[in-house]
Every structure is written in structure tokens, then in C-alpha cells.
Amino acid sequence: MERKKLFTQVDGLLHGGDYNPEQWLDRPDILEKDIKYMKDAHINTVTMGVFSWAVHEPTEGNINFDWLAEIMDRLYENGIYTVLATPTGARPAWLDEKYPSAMRCNEMGVRNHHGVRHNHCMQSPEFREKVRIMDSKLAERFAGHPGLLMWHISNELGGYCYCDTCRKKFQEWLADRYDHDIEKLNKAWWTTFWSHKFNSFDQIDPPYANGENCVLGLNLDWKRFSTWSATDFMRFEIDTLRSAGAKEPTTTNFMEMFYDYDYHYMKDFIDVISWDNYPEMHNNWQTDADHLLERSFNHALFRSMKRDKPFMMMESAPGLVNWRPFNKYRRPDMHELISMQAVATGSDTVQYFQIRKSRGSSEQWHGAVIDHIGTNDTRVFKEVAKLGEDLESISEVAGTLSDNKVAIIFDWDNRWAIDDAWALAKETKKFDETCMNIYNVFMKLGVEPDIISSDMDWSGYKIICAPMLYVLHDGVGEKIADFVKNGGQFMSTYFTGYVNKDLLANLGGFPGDGLSEVFGLRSEEIDTLYPEDRNSISIIDRAGKPSHSIEVRDYQELLRDVTADVLARYNGDYVAGKPAITRNNYGDGRAYYVACRTKQEDIEFIYREMLEHAHIAYTKLPAGIEKHTRYAEDCAYDFYLNCTTEEIVVPNVTGTDLITKDKLAGSLSLKGYQIAVIRR
Ligand code: GAL
């Protein structure tokens, strides 16, 4: 595949991160040292200006960027590029004092006090005007600077605002969505239930904590609106930069499987996907390998948002974070493993929060490349510098892409709707976990899935898994039918196709929207088990006899009208003898339905079967090894990560290790936490 470089100025991978020299303007000695240390650490980029508003504009209208320009120039002279942020993630006190509408209102509609960050009202006209002035001036001054790589819009956009301006905007957004016809909204939200009918759009409130929050359609539309509102704010910032002459690419830093906004909606309005990766390593509930797999799922989610270019790991922590319940230091070599995992999964950058540790305030104990001790020989510094060197050794992977044939559907609407549904059991819905568990099964078979939305382009995929796809967007039933008809392998589970995009139950049996025919069955009941309840199913072997049995927990559906082949039947409870796993030949493909919750590894045979039908080669990897592949025009790069502390030998590896320069023709031996990048 053709390499797609993110930036014309840089040949290889980016290494660097958030840098806040504004905290040290009275210490030129420190700033001087920083540049030397950055070079020692093979750092070639910094992100500046993220929280610099109060320095940019200490009093209203008194804007001065000279400090920033000087530092940017100095960095550029030293081969260090800048990602420049708009400073809207936090506001100076004068701004909130004069324009209180910039401060968000909480879910009771009460205005916040000044403080903290990431808490602006995205719709406040006064705040927007201040942002417009700030961003235009930034672009006028820095657009086209040879050291400027890209624009970083605000920081970690998030949260909801319940102020009157947002209430009004919500009503306008609803009017647009429902064609200015309140009866359409009433129908979609099924408001005759509990007499919740509205006569006009201006009667509708956001779902205040002490107001109307039981109309599920309203709750979901509020989340959709809030996604729109944040995107609208982000677009406003981008448009402002562009009108003031900025031509560089834009990004905003997303967060891991962030719940507030639908990133699949936001992704289309920025040029490059970036995200902030803060794993909780060496924790007391998971192995490192399992925790890293969760990270890998996140990377895959962000990578799959724009499959035609690499993404960026915009932030990660050198050493440790300081805001988890327990803030444990990364053990030796873990830094390289976490960082290389990002590159393995498709990131062209390893960036940190932060280059130099702040001396005071809430993040003073958060990991940094340069610690309070102020030297370049700390354990963390040396690990960062070693990684910097290794990133240079593998620089040829920059711009290479993944080419995966398996995808898992992960819709934000669906997550929200499942959690808000008065059904199943609150603690065991576990949609995210279910998707991750399926991902893990493929990963352990050495096959990397993409994580996509039901609305994205599915071309190129041969296998799609859509567990618990409770909400079916318009047209998705048909899309699934076409996918299978044309030879695709599709897998779904209990709690699929229950409602349409408005959360109205599909009538005529689940899964709805034509899917009963695709799967060859209908689901009549979904039964919720208590955490200690167990049932089991027996897999039917080729001779039609029950073979081994598999444990069922949490959920079991009662199926009827089954015309599909039955692969497993329930053993106990009131569903005993009924079909539990089915496979339906439909057109040229197959549709699998798993009607109950099992451990995913217990039903690995389904995934293997799908891979075989799809002619995708797989090999079970040694436990604790992760493998990812990036493709170039003429070669491929296999990344092997040993996510354990033990030495592991991986069989059947051939090619050249870009870090050790070893030529491999047989097996690869990796020490604990070691990684290898093999060109083949
Ligand atoms: C990120 C944030 C940074 C910094 C970092 C600390 O979420 O964007 O500004 O706070 O966390 O881990």
C-alpha cells in the first residue's frame, strides 16, 4: 500500500509532546536546558499553547505572542517542530468575570463558578467572540511558520452544558431533526406514554437531573445534540483559523472510548485523528497483557476512523500519571512497549504529556520527560531517549497503513441506548467489554480487527461482528443483508436489532429490519440471569451429537422460527433443548447468531470458522504476544510485542528486525516487555 505521510516537513515518526515553557519564562536557563535535553531524547516535536490563554492575553485585548514566537523559532532552529494549540481548554479569570456565559451550567441548570478547565459553554456567543479574536490572531501570527506542523483544536473536548442558550439551541436542533413538526418528535419519542406530549419545540428542556429524564428518545437526542454542539464549536475554531490564513492540518485530541460524544460523528471534521493514551499498567485486576489489549482496542478504534492515513498518539505519560486512584510507576521497559504499541497499531507519533514537569498545582506529580531533579539521566529520561533512538531506527514505517479484513461494530448511539434502556441488568450490560472480548479472540489468533461504526464504509471487510447491536440505524438491516448476500461472514448476538434509530421497538420479532430473514430466526424473549446464575449450552458436532458444553451467564434468549443450522443448544433452565448458536447460509455468505452470553474464548470455533470461510490465514500466538502489521508499497512490517515479563519465543518469523538489525529465518525470541519490528 502507498505510504501516506501526515506531514511534508517530517520524514519519519514524531516523538515529543506537550511543552509548557510559559510556566518558566522567568527561567531562561531552564528553557535553554530543555532544548538540549529534547535533542538528547531524540525529540522532534512539541505541542504548545494548550493552556496558554492567560499568558497570551493577560488582560482583555492585551494579546501578545512574542514569548511563543521566540520559543517556536528557537525550537525550529534546533530541528523541533510545533503542534500549536488553540488555548480554549481553559480560560483566564478576567474572561469568566466579564462574560459569565462562558461558564457551563450543570445538569440542574445552575451556572458553575470560575475554575478548573474543559468547562466552557460551547454555544455562548460572548465566549465564541473571544475565541474568534484569539484564534484569528494566532493564525495571523503563526500560519505558514516553517516550524508549524498542525493545529490542535482546544483540548479533550467533553461534557454537557445545560444553560439557557444550550436549551434554546437544543430546541432548534430538534426542530431541524424533526422537520419542524412536533408531531414527528412526539411519535419518535412515543410521548403519549405517561402523558409526555409536547405541543411545541420550545417546551422541551434538556434532560435536567431534576426534570424530564425518562423519555429515552430525549436522552439520546440530547447526547446527539451535545456531540453536534461540541463539533460545532470545534468547526467554529477551525473555520476561524482557516479564515485567518491557516492551511496546516487540524486535529483535536480524543480520549479513550470517551462516553460523552460520538467520535464517529466528529471524526469527519478534522484532518487527522489523535488521541490521549493513559493505560493503568501493573494494576491489581488484570495482567499487563490483558490491559495492553484494551489499549490496543482503543488504538484500533481511532485508527479505523480514517483508514487512509496514520493517526497520532497525542499524549501518553512518561513514567506515571498522577490522577488515577493508584499512581504506580511503569516498570523498566514498559515505556517502550506502550509507545511502540501505538506505532504498531498505526500511529505515526509518540507524544507525551509532558516534556517538563510543572513545579506546582494539580499535575505537579504527573510523569514528564524532564523531572524536578532537572537532569537527563533519570530512569524515565533514559527510557524516553532509548525509545527516541528506536523510533529513528524504524522511521521507514511512517506513513504505512493497516489493511484489515475483520471489523467489529461499535456505535456510540448503541452504547448510550443500551445503558439507558430499562432492561437487562444495570451491572451486566457490558457492551464495551463484549466488543473488546471479541477483539481479543481475533488478536490472539494473530488477526487484527478494525473497530468501525454501522454507518461507515464496510468495503474491504470479509468478516464483521456486531455484538449487541441493539439500535439499528436506517438502512443498516439492508446493509447487513447485502454484506452477507455478497459473501460476507457476519456475526451477531442476543440483544440485536431490538429498536430503530428513535429507540422504538422493531415490531414483528427481533432482530428487526429484515434481519430475521438474514439470520433465519426470531428472538422471542431475553432472559436476565443473576450474576451467580449459570446455564450451559452444548456444541453440536459434525455428526449432529452434542459434544462439549460451555457455560452461559448473564443473558439467554429464547429463539423461535429457527430455519438456520443449529450449532449449539441450551442444556438447562426453561430454554433447555432450544437453539443457542446458529449459522444461516444467506446468499453467498453466512450469518451467525449467538443467543446467549458465553466467554468469547469458549466460542473461538465460530471465529475460526469465519476466518476459514473468508480465507484469512490465522495462527494462534503464544500467550502474551501481540502482533500488528503495517503495510508499505513493497513490504510489510510486523510488530511483535511481548506484553509479559517472561521471555517468549515466537515461531515462524522471517525478515529483518529494524531495531536489532538481526535477520530472522525461523523464530523470534523476545525478552520480557521487548518488542521487535520485522520488515518482510
Ligand atoms: C490529559 C490532558 C492533559 C493532562 C494529562 C495528564 O487528559 O489533555 O492536559 O492533563 O491528561 O495526564
Please give the sequence-ordered ranges of beta strands (E in DSSP) within 24-167, or none if there are none.
Answer: 45-48, 81-85, 148-152
What pLDDT is attached to residue 542?
81
Tens digit of each residue's pLDDT (9 = 90 or more) over 252-275: 999 999 999 999 999 999 999 999
Which member of 248, 294, 315, 557 is catalytic?
Answer: 315
Same fold, 14-100+112-156+229-397 and 625-679: no
Q: What cell was used for 602?
A: 469458549
Burial class (CB in 10 A: 0-12, 13-18, 19+), 136: middle
Q: Ligand 1 in contact with 363 (CB < 6 A)?
A: yes
> Phi/psi at 325 (nearest 5 deg)?
-55, -35
Pairing, β 250-251 against β 535-540: unpaired
CATH superfamily of 406-613: Class I glutamine amidotransferase (GATase) domain (3.40.50.880)
Strand partners for 18: 47, 353
If you measure from the C-alpha of residue 466 to the centroid of ligand 1, how many angstroms do you get, rounded to a whole number?
32
The per-type count for the chain, helices as H runs and strands as E runs, is 17, 27
Domain 625-679: which topology? Immunoglobulin-like (2.60.40)
Looking at ligand 1, which atom is closest to the CA of residue 353?
Answer: 5
Q: Tell me the mean pLDDT per 10 residues along the chain, length 680.
A: 94 97 96 97 98 98 98 98 98 98 98 96 98 98 98 98 98 98 98 96 98 97 98 98 98 98 98 98 97 98 98 98 97 98 98 98 97 98 98 98 98 98 97 98 98 98 98 98 98 98 97 98 98 97 88 98 98 98 98 98 97 98 98 97 98 97 95 98
Which class is domain 14-100+112-156+229-397? alpha beta
What pLDDT is attached to residue 131?
98
Please give the sequence-ordered ranges of beta strands (E in DSSP) within 136-184, or none if there are none.
Answer: 148-152
Q: Ligand 1 in contact with 276 (CB < 6 A)?
A: yes
Name residues whose C-beta falls within 8 Å of residue 410's C-beta, 6 or more positions apart in sequence: 301, 432, 435, 451, 452, 453
Contact 152, 251 (CB under 8 A): yes
Pairing, β 463-466 against β 489-493: parallel
CA distance 611 to 406: 9
Q: Which helix (H) or strand (E) is 339 found in, with range?
A: helix 334-345
Atom 12 (ligand 1): residue with closest C-alpha?
A: 321
Contact 100, 83 (CB under 8 A): no
For the chain, the structural domain boundaries read 14-100+112-156+229-397, 406-613, 625-679
If you measure from the C-alpha of residue 164 to the centroid of ligand 1, how many angstroms do you get, rounded to a whole number?
30
CA distance 467 to 430: 11
For residue 315, indicate whether it is catalytic: yes
For residue 392, indicate whether it is catalytic: no
Residue 144 CA to chain centroid, in angstroms?
31
What pLDDT is attached to residue 541?
86
CA distance 121 to 114: 12
**How many Cβ atoms from other residues are within 10 Å of residue 72's Cβ?**
25
If you measure from the C-alpha of residue 353 to the centroid of ligand 1, how many angstroms do you get, rounded to a whole number?
6
CA distance 511 to 669: 47
Contact 514, 478 (CB under 8 A): yes
Region for 624 from its dihedrals, namely left if φ exceeds 0, alpha if ψ lies in -120 to 50, beta otherwise: left
